[in-house]
């Protein structure tokens, strides 16, 4: 990141962007789990 | 196919190829040719990465897989976003800092020439074979279903790809892939809505998902810790992570996509775009297969989806034995249809005991129907031992041909063509680049002119295109080809990832230790493949761990020898 003069859009740092991506993954897994439980 | 389908298919495919060739004409610099001019935006990188990964088999096989086994395959992609984050934070800045053209150049800078050449050779071997399959696999299915000549279909896909890949290099591949990806996504979304539209009008989306759930197909997440289950949350987060790290971090066909970014930020955003979109896209493609299954609860499905194979069996000696089985299959469908009506009626009245009871009877009727289908497949195998009885790859395309309206059939065939072409283009582009950068320039012609390397890159791309088409032409001589190539990929990816992990994280491991550790780990994975029953997805983990462990074990000995020399 020290070598990257440009930051990500919407986030102050790449760390924030990475956490966002992992957060979306967690939400997707949660939604899919609920779908599995609701329709088994 | 009707004239409008031909118009949509030919129009879509040729417009993309012509636009890609025209837009990237007249490239003079070898850097532009191999790295795409380093001015690519994140959305082009992201779509290009997705198009590289999405082969024709993705669109042919995945809906069929959902039809047979449900949604569980989506879990295989749960490790992918984590891999994208790890790569964006570690290896991508490193590639940028070192200004490499190929992933394997990094290994020479970190270790030595022999380690670079070994990994580049492994890549050429594995990707060269896979390029042939990415042409052959859709060609065999399209030729069977539509009656097209197999060799002509191979030749057509291969030639179209060679034209723009050779002409415009990485930039042409990226430019065409973004439009191909738009066609692929648009085609699958159109397919989803069309199939939903074809369901009975009194069946809501909730009913549709409910029917799929009652038949056990909404099994999206499996929390069980079973090692024998192929797709679970845990195997997705571990095995899927290793596969994605190896594929996106070390396979030149993917590395070349994001190294074409105008800045490190654009490359990272391209990878993170893939991290956000990939799982929903796979979910969509699987869901299309599940909706096809629901459609076939209201309309009788074929007993065997490869219609051409079924007809040839019917004409063969003993083919008359199919008749009684097909009658039983029709009766089983009628019974299942009645149980489904009872389930829907109970759902509408909200009568829970009746609903549970109808669900059990529906499951029993479904199991009976599946059992007869298994018997039909067994009969086909008995009457023609060379017949391929796995017909899942034909489920979706058979449905498209039979039920889609004119125009949409052409669009879906264009989706398959676009997928075949995009995956093959990335492969040829990367094979040509690796041959020139890691072998030709490094070993034979280190001091030639720009024009010379540009000519060599074009020539090697044509060479690999010819190899891929030749392999596609003879691919039918091998049994279980697609699985063989998947296994081949898993055999090589583990050690490949391992050597990069050692290079990045274990600073004291020297080149000789890394080289012998990679070679030994490669032999170990081949032995595991030959002598054990371990599922092939685990080869990635075993290969990577073996390189790390062996490199650490050899390092003291290797360092001692170096100090004595």
As averages over each run of 10 residues, the pLDDT of chain B (565 residues) reads 91 92 84 84 94 87 91 93 96 92 94 94 90 86 84 90 90 90 93 93 92 93 80 87 91 93 94 96 95 95 90 89 93 94 90 90 94 94 85 90 93 91 92 95 91 93 94 69 69 92 92 94 92 80 94 88 74
**B420 and B384, same structural domain?**
no
Domain end position, chosen among B367, B390, B413: B390
**B169 and B56, same structural domain?**
yes
Is A9 in contact with B263 (Cβ distance < 8 A)? no
Is the CB of residue B71 less than 8 Å from the CB of residue B435? no
Instruction: Locate the chain B residue with the closest alpha carbon to A4.
Output: B264
Phi, psi of B190 (to 5 degrees): -60, -40
DSSP state of B406: T
**B315 and B230, same structural domain?**
no
**Token pair listed for B254:** 């993917």
DSSP state of B300: P
Q: Does B72 reside within a domain? A: yes
**B268 and B331, same structural domain?**
no
B401: burial class by Cβ within 10 Å (0-12, 13-18, 19+)? middle
Q: Does B302 reside within a domain? A: no
Helices (H), B147-199: 150-198
**Token pair listed for B440:** 């030709």
Residues 61-80 of B with CB under 8 A from A: 74, 78
**B271 and B173, same structural domain?**
yes
Picking from B360, B336, B358, the residue whose alpha carbon sits closest to that of residue B348 is B358
pLDDT confidence of A3, banded at 50, 70, 90? Answer: very low
Q: Phi/psi zone of residue B68: left (φ > 0), alpha (ψ -120 to 50 degrees), beta?
A: alpha
Is A17 in contact with B276 (Cβ distance < 8 A)? no
Residues 429-458 of B with CB under 8 A from A: none
Residue with tokens 């490239």: B27
Taking each helix axis as running N to C, give the angle between helix B392-403 and helix B150-198, from 0 to 180 degrees, rounded to the nearest 10.
70
Is the CB of residue B310 less than 8 Å from the CB of residue B304? yes
Cβ-based neighbour number of residue B195 at 10 Å: 23
Is the CB of residue A13 less than 8 Å from the CB of residue A21? no
Helix (H, G, I), strand (E, B) or coil at A9: coil
Q: Does B146 reside within a domain? A: yes
* CA pair distance B211, B220, nearest whole angstrom: 15
Measure in Å the smallest separation between the Cα of A22 and chain B Cα atoms: 7
Q: Does B23 reside within a domain? A: yes
* CA pair distance B254, B290, nearest whole angstrom: 30
Residue A30 reports pLDDT greater than 90: yes
DSSP of B213-234, one letter per residue? Answer: HHTT----------SSSSS-HH
Residue numbers of the domain that contains B375: 307-390
**Number of alpha carbons in the 13 Å side-chain half-sphere of residue B438:** 30
What are residue B40's DSSP bridge partners? B261
Judged by a CB distance cut-off of 8 A, whether residue B93 touches chain A is: yes
Domain end position, chosen among B390, B417, B435: B390
**B64 and B170, same structural domain?**
yes
* CA pair distance B134, B486, nearest whole angstrom: 12
DSSP state of B123: H
**Token pair listed for A23:** 């957060």
For the entire predicted model, the pTM comes to: 0.91
Of A4, A29, A35, the CB nearest to B218: A35
**Token pair listed for B69:** 């086994």
Cβ-based neighbour number of residue B210 at 10 Å: 21
**Token pair listed for B134:** 């990415």
Is A36 in contact with B218 (Cβ distance < 8 A)? yes
**B489 and B470, same structural domain?**
no
Domain end position, chosen among B457, B474, B491: B474
> What total of structural domains would you count in chain B?
3
Q: Does B424 reside within a domain? A: yes
Is A25 in contact with B275 (Cβ distance < 8 A)? yes
Of B85, B209, B268, the CB nearest to A22: B85
Tell me, what's the pLDDT at B350? 84
Cβ-based neighbour number of residue B177 at 10 Å: 29
Measure in Å the smallest separation between the Cα of A13 and chain B Cα atoms: 11
Tell me, what's the pLDDT at A27? 97
**B149 and B183, same structural domain?**
yes
**B164 and B287, same structural domain?**
yes
| Neighbouring residues of B350: CB distance < 8 A, sequence distance ≥ 6 | none
- Report CA Rg, chain A: 15
**B291 and B251, same structural domain?**
yes
Picking from B89, B111, B71, the residue whose alpha carbon sits closest to that of residue B216 is B71
Q: Does B396 reside within a domain? A: no
Residue with tokens 């020439």: B113
Phi, psi of B411 (to 5 degrees): -65, -40
Is A21 in contact with B269 (Cβ distance < 8 A)? no
**B264 and B216, same structural domain?**
yes
Residue with tokens 């052959």: B136
Q: Does B357 reside within a domain? A: yes
Judged by a CB distance cut-off of 8 A, whether residue A38 touches chain B is: yes
From residue B402, how far is each of B62, B66, B98, B227, B554 by CA, in Å? 19, 19, 53, 39, 61
Tell me, what's the pLDDT at B483? 63
Phi, psi of B366 (to 5 degrees): -65, -40
Measure in Å the smallest separation between the Cα of B267 and chain A Cα atoms: 11
**B32 and B86, same structural domain?**
yes
Tell me, what's the pLDDT at B477? 56
Q: Does B316 reside within a domain? A: yes
Helix (H, G, I), strand (E, B) or coil at B536: coil
Residues from chain B that touch A35, judged by Cβ atoms under 8 A, are 209, 218, 220
Judged by a CB distance cut-off of 8 A, whether residue A10 touches chain B is: no
Tell me, what's the pLDDT at A1? 42
First-to-final CA distance of chain B: 71
* CA pair distance B440, B455, nearest whole angstrom: 12
């Amino acid at each position: 990141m020290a070598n990257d003069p440009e930051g990500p859009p919407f986030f102050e740092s790449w760390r924030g962007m990475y956490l966002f991506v992992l957060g979306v993954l967690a939400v997707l897994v949660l939604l899919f789990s609920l779908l599995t439980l609701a329709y088994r | 196919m009707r004239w409008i389908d031909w118009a949509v298919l030919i129009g879509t495919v040729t417009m993309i190829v012509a636009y890609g060739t025209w837009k990237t004409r007249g490239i003079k610099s070898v850097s532009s040719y191999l790295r795409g001019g380093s001015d690519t935006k994140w959305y082009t990188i992201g779509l290009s990465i997705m198009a590289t990964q999405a082969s024709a088999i993705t669109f042919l096989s995945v809906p069929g897989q959902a039809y047979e086994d449900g949604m569980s395959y989506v879990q295989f992609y749960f490790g992918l976003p984590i891999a994208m984050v790890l790569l964006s934070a570690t290896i991508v800045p490193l590639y940028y800092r070192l200004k490499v053209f190929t992933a394997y150049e990094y290994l020479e800078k970190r270790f030595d020439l022999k380690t670079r050449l070994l990994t580049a050779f492994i890549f050429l071997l594995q990707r060269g074979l896979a390029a042939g399959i990415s042409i052959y696999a859709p060609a065999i299915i399209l030729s069977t279903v539509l009656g097209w000549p197999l060799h002509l279909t191979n030749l057509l896909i291969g030639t179209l790809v060679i034209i723009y890949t050779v002409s415009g290099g990485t930039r042409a591949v990226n430019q065409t892939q973004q439009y191909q990806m738009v066609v692929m996504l648009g085609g699958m979304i159109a397919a989803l809505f069309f199939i939903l539209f074809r369901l009975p009008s009194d069946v809501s989306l909730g009913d549709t998902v409910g029917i799929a759930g009652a038949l056990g197909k909404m099994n999206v997440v499996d929390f069980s810790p079973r090692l024998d289950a192929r797709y679970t949350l845990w195997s997705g987060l571990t095995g899927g992570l290793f596969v994605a790290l190896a594929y996106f971090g070390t396979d030149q066909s993917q590395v070349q996509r994001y190294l074409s970014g105008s800045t490190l930020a654009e490359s990272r955003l391209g990878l993170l775009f893939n991290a956000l979109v990939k799982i929903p896209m796979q979910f969509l493609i699987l869901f299309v297969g599940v909706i096809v299954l629901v459609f076939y609860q209201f309309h009788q499905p074929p007993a065997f989806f490869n219609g051409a194979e079924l007809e040839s069996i019917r004409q063969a000696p003993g083919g008359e034995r199919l008749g009684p089985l097909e009658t039983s299959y029709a009766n089983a469908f009628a019974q299942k249809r009645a149980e489904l009506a009872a389930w829907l009626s109970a759902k509408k009245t909200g009568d829970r005991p009746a609903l549970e009871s109808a669900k059990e009877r529906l499951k029993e009727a479904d199991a009976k129907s599946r059992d007869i289908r298994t018997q039909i497949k067994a009969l086909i195998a008995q009457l023609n031992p060379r017949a391929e009885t796995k017909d899942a790859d034909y489920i979706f395309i058979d449905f498209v041909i039979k039920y889609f309206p004119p125009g949409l059939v052409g669009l879906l065939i264009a989706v398959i063509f676009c997928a075949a072409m995009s995956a093959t283009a990335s492969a040829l582009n990367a094979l040509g680049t690796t041959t020139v950068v890691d072998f030709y320039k490094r070993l034979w012609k280190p001091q030639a002119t720009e024009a010379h390397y540009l000519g060599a890159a074009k020539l090697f791309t044509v060479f690999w295109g010819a190899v891929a088409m030749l392999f596609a032409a003879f691919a039918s001589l091998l049994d279980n080809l697609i699985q063989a190539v998947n296994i081949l990929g898993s055999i090589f990816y583990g050690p490949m990832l391992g050597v990069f992990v050692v290079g990045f994280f274990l600073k004291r491991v020297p080149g000789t230790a890394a080289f012998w550790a990679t070679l030994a780990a490669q032999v170990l994975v081949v032995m595991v493949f030959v002598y054990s029953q371990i599922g092939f997805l685990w080869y990635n983990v075993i290969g990577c761990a073996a390189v790390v462990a062996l490199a650490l074990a050899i390092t003291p000995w290797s360092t001692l020898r170096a100090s004595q020399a």
